[in-house]
Structure 1
């Protein structure tokens, strides 16, 4: 399917990304913030759990109410709770009357390349990622929450991609008005991933084996954004396809892996028919697959905590022969 102009989650109108990166002195970690326009008034959302060996703060309320009421943050495992607390401060500063908030914070374990027990992320790091969020092309690879992650035997990190799809020709019901896209000609689905899982790298069906990296974690966080007019149930179907897409790049879905996807839409007027979901499903599958590959091909060899090294995938090994 055709990509958006940036081939990134920020192709979805109103979606911004900000990142804070921490390196040096045995540290390779950070924060990635996905900030959709209109989050203050809640946006339809859903979570899918492939394997729940991880932390995704705020999950139960999203499942219960079918909405997010904050941006979405990603970080390293043991910093999750410090990030959530700093995030809560940022939210309270913007709503002086709030007595209940549901910050969404996900993680993967970057302890192979970063001194994870130091929990180095401060409120300043969290607030900077949120305050600098931009609709520009996000940096990929060794940046933000992906600074210290590895996947499929190679150095990985943050990756993103998008797909455009036309508006359906049919309405959701015989009497309904066909949903109007917010972008001329159709809608956009975007993905952002924090890749940190095991398996054998597979590129367009071709395995690219590597020595396994002896590391805790083996997880993946996937964020799906769209402007499609979907309800929470339909977004849950998209989120499940995001986890399915991990198989296309070689995930082994290890028992110690925390594989999560959260999908949201910037549209508050659900009017999309289930029988028209084939194209959105394909858009999710393609964008997640490419985002995962981008997280690897944009990463660089990194030596970190206690001299541990994760090597970048050699590009000549994945080019067509």
Structure 2
């Protein structure tokens, strides 16, 4: 792994820059974009301060766009599956995904009350870029987590144009983490949260495959936080303005987490669903027990077998050539892919926390950043970090 994977493109440290150890072998970027073809784009909206006035701010929100096959591959169907660990949240398009086992649209992630404009924005973008696909029918995948502690969530700040801009901005290569895109106003374990990503290499004898996870983290109560197996809730219990606020409004630990798993390994839709079911195990390694008020929804896709599952309208009569074919990993050899998903999900949470700074939003609400110095001291005291 190169040193570039220790910092974000903006120079923010990631978890490994602090010496935090993780299991498994990461990819070159240690990101979802290690899966060839995957592109990620952001629109970040930050404006205003002081007292909230609905419709006028302050604004701390945005849109994240994930294109599984990049801009050119939009509209081509790939195997996919989703899992709702706790359904107190939303991800559109999953009824058809469950039915067909296929995904052929970009994935957008935003705040809870901005699903509508992002859904519309995906359609607008597809009409402009893939009119042949748009001429049939589209069921965009748009997911959310709640950012109302920091953001004027009821204001019409996210528009369809912002969704289009995030899709247009999508690129491969290293991607930013922390308070960007849909993760801008999010919190995790009552610290500043947001976006985090990580990847793992799975050796399959004749070749290596990549499994990668992207999370929009907005879950967990401070007392639950665990890093590298060390419980830190009591050590870092002070400076917790979010849960003091939450006591009068919502239970601690409320929020949500959206997780996207990408792999270039050839998988069946049911195997993708099996990967999505493993994401909560990675989150549990960071301490969460899964709050009732946290909507935790996960989607996994495989970029292999491109367009084998296309659901386009048929033309002509079927003949000997009108069959689809798929390669897939035997079910009995899936364990290493499960482990990679769990490992990458755990590291993605910690990356989202580490690559962050304090943020003040609506009504002076403050979300403190995870203090690096105290984190390192606590892990050194348990000999998790040496030197």
Per the normalisation by structure 1, the TM-score is 0.92
> Pick from 281, 291, 298: which aligns with 1:254?
291
* Alpha-carbon shift at residue 190 of structure 1 (Å): 0.8
Give the 3-state SS of the residue equivalent to 1:41 in structure 2: coil
2:180 is the alignment partner of 1:143: yes
In 2, are the aligned partners of 1:156 and 1:195 still within 8 Å (CA)?
yes
* Alpha-carbon shift at residue 306 of structure 1 (Å): 0.9
* Alpha-carbon shift at residue 191 of structure 1 (Å): 0.7
Matched with 2:30 is 7
Matched with 2:40 is 17
Matched with 2:112 is 77
Question: Residues 44-74 of structure 1, C-alpha deviation per residue, up to 9 Å, x if partnerless?
Answer: 0000000001110111111111011101010
Question: Residues 264-288 of structure 1, C-alpha deviation per residue, up to 9 Å, x if partnerless?
Answer: 0100133211111111011100101
Matched with 1:206 is 230
In 2, are the aligned partners of 1:168 and 1:276 still within 8 Å (CA)?
no
Give the 3-state SS of the residue equivalent to 1:116 in structure 2: coil
Matched with 1:31 is 63
Q: Which has the larger radius of gyration?
A: 2
Q: How many Å separate the matches in 2 of 1:95 and 1:141?
A: 31
* Alpha-carbon shift at residue 168 of structure 1 (Å): 4.3
Matched with 1:107 is 144
Q: Gaps (5+ residues) in structure 2?
A: 1-23, 49-57, 306-325, 381-387
In 1, are the aligned partners of 2:89 and 2:145 still within 8 Å (CA)?
yes
Matched with 2:320 is none
Q: How many Å separate the matches in 2 of 1:137 and 1:249?
A: 24
In 1, are the aligned partners of 2:26 and 2:201 still within 8 Å (CA)?
yes
* Alpha-carbon shift at residue 231 of structure 1 (Å): 0.4
* Alpha-carbon shift at residue 94 of structure 1 (Å): 2.7
Q: How many Å separate the matches in 1 of 2:178 and 2:357?
A: 7
Question: Residues 255-304 of structure 1, C-alpha deviation per residue, up to 9 Å, x if partnerless?
Answer: 11100110001001332111111110111001010001101111111000
In 2, are the aligned partners of 1:297 and 1:313 still within 8 Å (CA)?
yes
In 1, are the aligned partners of 2:106 and 2:122 still within 8 Å (CA)?
no
Per the normalisation by structure 2, the TM-score is 0.77
Q: How many Å separate the matches in 1 of 2:280 and 2:100?
A: 22
4+ residue runs over 6 A deviation? none
> Pick from 51, 65, 69: which aligns with 2:86?
51
* Alpha-carbon shift at residue 227 of structure 1 (Å): 0.2
Structure with more of its chain in strand, by fraction = 1
Give the 3-state SS of the residue equivalent to 2:154 in structure 1: helix
Matched with 2:214 is 192
In 1, are the aligned partners of 2:117 and 2:163 still within 8 Å (CA)?
no
* Alpha-carbon shift at residue 244 of structure 1 (Å): 2.1
Matched with 2:339 is 282
Give the 3-state SS of the residue equivalent to 1:57 in structure 2: coil
Q: Gaps (5+ residues) in structure 1?
A: 170-184
In 2, are the aligned partners of 1:153 and 1:201 still within 8 Å (CA)?
no
